[in-house]
Structure 1
Amino acid sequence: MLYNLHAFMAFWLLADLLILLASAAESISGRPAAGCQTRCGDVSIPYPFGIGPNCSHGKGFEIACDTRTRNGSGELVPTLAAANGTIHVQSLFVAPIPEVKVMLPVAYQCYNSSDSVTESFFGAVDLNNNGVYRISDKRNMFVVLGCNTMAYTNNGDSHGKGPYAGLYYTGCVSYCNDSSSAQDGMCAGIGCCHVDISPGLSDNVVTFGEWSRYFQVDFNPCNYAFLVAKDEYNFQRSDLQKDLNRTKPVWLDWAIRDGGNSSASSSCPAPEVREKMPPEYACVSDNSECVNSTNGPGYYCKCSKGYEGNPYLVGGCNDIDECARSDEYPCHGDCRNTVGDYHCKCRTGYQPRGGGPKIDECSQKFPLPAQIALGISLGFSFLIVAALFTLMMLQKRKINEYFKKNGGSILQKVDNIMIFSKDDLKKITKNNSHVIGQGGFGKVFKGTLEDNTMVAVKTSIEVNEARKEDFTNEVIIQSRMMHNNIIKLLGCCLEVDVPMLVYEFAANGSLQDILHGDANRSLLLTLDIRLDIAIESAEGLKYMHSSTNCTIRHGDVKPANILLTDKFVPKISDFGTSKLLTVDKDFTMFVVGSMGYIDPIFHKTGRLTQKSDVYSFGVVLLELISRKPTIYGENFSLIIEFQKAYDEVHSGRAMFDKEIAVEEDIFILEEIGKLAMECLKEKVEERPDMKEVAERLVMLRRARKHGQGSYNLSPRHHEEISIETTPTSFGADFSTNSSVSLSATCTPERKELYKL
């Protein structure tokens, strides 16, 4: 009886052992034991992970699903069974990349006002006891929170090679000046800092630096450091407050590693070994592949192209029906699924083109559809032509509107004005390729007419309905000014928004450039040349004042507006201020002109007269005989210095340009200087007119040619030159609503209030 009992017990023990061996064998060979739980709460548990004995690939892949571990909604939460602490698992992925998302605790170190550590936790959770996991360097970052806080994490054992115990260290420093320093959403070193991590990190352990913290405990009692998914953390200033029970989402890379199974290889076995399917090889499914891990040793499995599923299970990789998933696997024709791929061919009557029907639409073969396609193409071509024609008509209408707005209907009837089209102007200026200067309203371009005449093309004022009549009158007046010393207006282009004016070209630029330009300092200007420039410029202004059908006042006489031909013939240009006045009025609401040249009476009253031009011309004469700008040296005023010279020594000799101040010409220079000072008198009625100025300059030239002894001075030349009423300073900045003021310390820059 006792023998039978022993035999019976031995039988059952043997049966249990066989069942256990069979279950273990199934688990190792890619078949988890029957009845293994595949979900815990709302998290799927795919093999090689498993819940319970013989349900996973090994200890590192075991998942615990304890009824005591629930989330706020009361649902079960899976945890890593092999970890020392409770590490919640949020998701497990086998494909396309082996990943696990877990919640890891935040490390902290708290202080009191005595700078003593009161509480600390360094984040050690031992999540990797079996070597399965590595913290993902691609999807996570290391974050440090606090004020005067330094923290780092390290990994690996250097085994005494080098000065450090670990293989690498990574961390950062955050700083706060006070409770308001840190800003929500900012993690760049103030209250919060972050760094990327290197591959191979296998734990959550943190080391904090030893820094004084006693003065910050009120608003930041603790230092914090943690790993967190890059796209799942946004710093908030409230994070600096005391909260010791925080966890953060972290991505883990997993692989089949030595630590997961003592007999497993640390990388993919050779192809000949794989074909024999060794018991420890994890990629057991047909149509699966082995891939070496990029984060630590080991490998992982994936289904071959054209298959999907779980490569860790026998028969786990199944064929994809590509034809049923056209959004992922396009086919512009008839689709037929094949094992591991799919076949796509064009439908009857169509032929492949480009990259084939898997990439590009098929084209029809037959002539009729081709003719239809041609008809459609021709239709589109017609639409394009019609659209272009419409655009051309709209452009032409716009050009006609500009032409009408700019007074074209009036100006095209004027005989001596050439009207250029927009295309003409492009051809003349070669698409505005040669800029020669800057006018008050835009750039000045050099151009060439069909007869090879050189011209200058510049932008005029913008014309509206209120100013159209004034503009047309000004153009007509300018075109009728036929004088050798006035720049000739040849024509205009009215087919643009702002009219363009075409003038004769002056090859030597402006008198301003010749007198004061750095490039022309070496150019010798004899007294004869300067006297000729002065006489002919005066003749041009005299013509404007008295020899035309209407009185024209220039309003902005200065060297920059006296252009010179290649033979130094002066040409008065840029009728700036005159454009703001009607021809029969003296007053303007706009006081415009250039610093150093504007008539003080004009500036104070707005009354622009011929004597205003005389005043400005007087300044030009001073520049001609001194070759000094209106403001020179250390803020010296040319007008004031000449006045001082005549007041103190009754001679301007000290101011004359040394190039022309030879003894035999001093008399002529003195007379020019005295004439200039008469032009600068403040009382308008005491200034000579331009006719007298021109005549006296001509007499001086004649006297110089025949000897000064034959020059009979007029009575006014014997008068004491006095400009006591001339302003005591000139050249300082002024605006349109202030009177002219003089200062010996005015700015050295020549400033302009207005320039065309």
Structure 2
Amino acid sequence: MSPLLILIVLSLASTAASLIGKPGCQTTCGGVRIPYPFGIGTGIGVDGVNVNCSLPGFEISCVNNRRGGHMPVLANTEIEVLNLSVMPRPEARVRLPVAWSCYNSTGGNTGNSYGTVDLNRTGVYRISDTENELVVLGCNTLVYTNSGPPGRSDYSFYTGCMTYCNDSGSAQDGKCAGIGCCHVDIPPGLTDNWMQFGDPTSFPHVNQEFSPCDYGFIVEKGYYTFRVSDLTTMSLKQTMPLRLDWAIRARNISSVSMSCAEAKTSPGYTCVSQHSECVNSTNGPGYFCNCTRGYEGNPYIVHGCTNINECERPEDYPCYGVCEDTEGSYDCKCPRGKQINSGSSAKEQQCSPKFPLAAQLALGTSLGVSFLIVSLLCALMVRQKRKMNEYFKKNGGSILKKVENIKIFDKDELNKITRNNSEVLGQGGFGKVYKGILADNTIVAVKASIEVNDARKEDFTNEVIIQSQMIHTNIIKLLGCCLEVDVPMLVYEFAANGNLQDILHADASRRVPLPLELRLDIAIESAEGLRYMHSSAKRTVRHGDVKPANILLDDKFVPKISDFGTSKLLTVDKDFTMFVVGSMGYIDPVFHKTGHLTKKSDVYSFGVVLLELICRKPTIYGENLSLIIEFQKAYEEEDSGRKMFDKEIMGEENISTLEEMGKLAMECLREKVEERPDMKEVAERLVMLRRARKQAYGQGNYIDEIGIEASPKSASSNATLSTPSTPATKHTSNP
């Protein structure tokens, strides 16, 4: 291939990416788009010359997320970037740490952190005053933040609020008005996350075990809902999402920042795309760029603003006649034989016939055949598009397109990702599961969801919304969905080692060794995923169908809770939901009898999973033998589960750990709901067992000992399936 042809091919390949970032630059990291002026390091342009992929101050680093994947962070920091946008408003959505200060029973301070992070070294960021709020948790607490140069005091402004509690019963879930929790708007111009706590002598904490720590954090509005349990259980490493405004040019008070009038006549003006315009920043000095009306894209990239085809967006650009896209706008005219009232247009009202009825009939008779032929031809051309639009609406597209954290793929995109469904991973409850590869070479699993009708639309959209809000290492991540098909398709992260059901209970030819350390890790991290669902997510979620088939394992055997089809969002004023069906053998008997799904129902189901991990037997095995009944019987007779434990892990050094795991499982399976532990306690007790084992025996690389090769070609379809009908994972054990 000639050098000229190679150059042309490279140029065409980078065209799409160049509308996001500079040619030759990385434009995604961990599923997050990185649009210019943001960028990662340097790249090689089409002319072979190194280019800076970002403007100064907008550098992004793509780092290992410690789970085999990657995530973007602000350069030279540990601040995770969740989303970056250039239009219609310049914004960076990030996670920042929660500030805290803790006390003992005598009121003495035992430690603190002010939540300080160096996010504004070059002055391009401001914490958005319109999208965020300051929240304070605690009892007898004052927390405030400040910013700006000296005013009448040390800073230009101070913002905060004070909370009070009379006793442990004062605070109420969902109430954040001064008792246990308060919140307040922040002013514009805030440049950092530094919190300050009130003087302990003025705000004593003696005998305040119901609120041993004070917390302060800035968080995006509508994200955080107060829970009384947060006063005692919030992690000191907790982070919260918030939104940052940004603008071009240095934004620190001591530097000169240009307005649009000054920037347009100065070197380095960044609104370089044709059809772009300059906008003065409203949160601190500086400016940013937008595409002009009728265009969209990236105004910081040459040719980055592209024409909007308004005719494809009738909900935003109405037309009651014949729509024709034009550069930067669109025309809407009445079809031949119809007209609009004087002073109005077909964009505003319906067209009416030009001719009287008799003339219409005569004209229709003579041209009927011609119109029929033309109509048939047009119908063939628009039928598919109309059908896809109908599917999109039927499948809840008007609701789901507003949901954050997921991407809505169109049908063409999905066909490209799956290469027209060319590689089948396996068979699920609702159809086949296909392998897919995203533009950044991320492997995904694409599966069919339920068939949606008017009765099921709310259930389907509810399931997608629930999954989009579950952001946790041990919960399978929903990346997006395609709604332009009869049965909506869901795109998930890929779990290369299939599900725990197949790993535990494979037949003899595919059975692999599972060290106790690995089983304990799987139990701990599965419990952490459920714990997050119960208490740390944006809204409380009960899973409702916890079982090994719904615990997926990635290539490093990290468990991922999956299948939220039976989950329900629970508002803060309810303790249960109705009519949720789980899998027999794992379902909580109390829930089965009453129809009330609670967090303790998931605890019961997890207890069954814990038994399967240590016994490596299914819930029903042999001739009508029940694992739960047999294990309980063993404990009643011998006060031990020794005779039920998997012989593979029955070494003497493991017995005490297995006994403790068995006792914990029995507590989870107690008939009285109030006697069961919650998922927080379950996770903590399992972690204590692991810590004790490491101190006593250490821990090697048991993943290498297993000898499983998890690759995309042999990986299980169960990466997104809960009840596979045909296992597809092929495991090989090294001798």
The answer, yes or no, to whether TM exceeds 0.5 is no
Q: Into which bin does the TM-score normalised by the smaller protein fall?
A: 0.3 to 0.5
- Greater C-alpha radius of gyration: 1
Q: TM-score, normalised by structure 1?
A: 0.42
Q: TM-score, normalised by structure 2?
A: 0.43
Q: Could you say which structure has the greater relative contact order, defined with CA pairs below 8 angstroms and 6 or more residues apart?
A: 2
